[in-house]
Amino acid sequence: MSEDPKKDQASTQKKSGTREDGSGGDFIRKVRRKTRRRYTSEEKIRIVMEGLRGELSVADLCRREGIHSNVYYKWLKDFMEAGKARLSGDTRRDASKDEVDGFKRENARLKEVVAELAVENHGLKKIVS
């Protein structure tokens, strides 16, 4: 060891992957990002449904599942918004481009049929009169 304790501390921090100022913020953030638990949509739905049942408090549920309560409430909001969007979709359905094109073709064909029948009807009226 050298006689300067600050120099020894700085060299130790460099070896351990932390910054020279002593805060390992970047390193810790990278590790947390790599090891963060990812929940599938089925798991999120299960957790939100358990919270809605009310058998456990939200705090207990979050503690058991290892999530923060803010995460639970964000999932709950997303769950409710998706349900609202789905239910409003029952009254108004978005058509695909192929369906719209098909309806336009059918509409044009029906307009031609109506025009032909109108001409035929007009001709028949002249004959009868």
CATH classification of the domain holding 75: 1.10.10
pLDDT for the residue 18: 47
Whether the pTM exceeds 0.75: the reply is: no
Q: Any residues with CB less than 8 A from the CB of 64 and at least 6 apart, and which?
A: 56
Judgement on whether residues 56 and 80 belong to the same structural domain of the protein = yes
Q: What is the percent of the chain with per-residue pLDDT over 70, rounded to a whole number?
A: 78
Please give the pLDDT value at position 91: 61
Q: Is residue 15 part of a domain?
A: no
- Read off the pLDDT band of 7 (50, 70, 90): low
Cα 30 to Cα 38: distance, rounded to the nearest angstrom: 15
Task: Look at residue 67 in the predicted model and tell me its pLDDT.
Answer: 94
- CA gap 25, 92 in Å, rounded: 49
| Distances from the Cα of 71 to the Cα of 31, 35, 54, 76, 77, angstroms | 20, 17, 17, 9, 10
The whole domain housing 105 covers 95-129
Which residue bears the tokens 């058998």? 55
Q: Is the pLDDT of residue 17 over 70?
A: no
Q: Answer yes or no: do 30 and 89 share one domain.
A: yes
Q: How many domains does the chain have?
A: 2
* Same-domain pairing of 101 and 80: no
Looking at residue 40, what is its pLDDT? 93
Note whether 78 and 123 are same-domain residues: no
Give a yes or no: residue 4 inside a domain.
Answer: no
What is the per-residue pLDDT for 97?
87
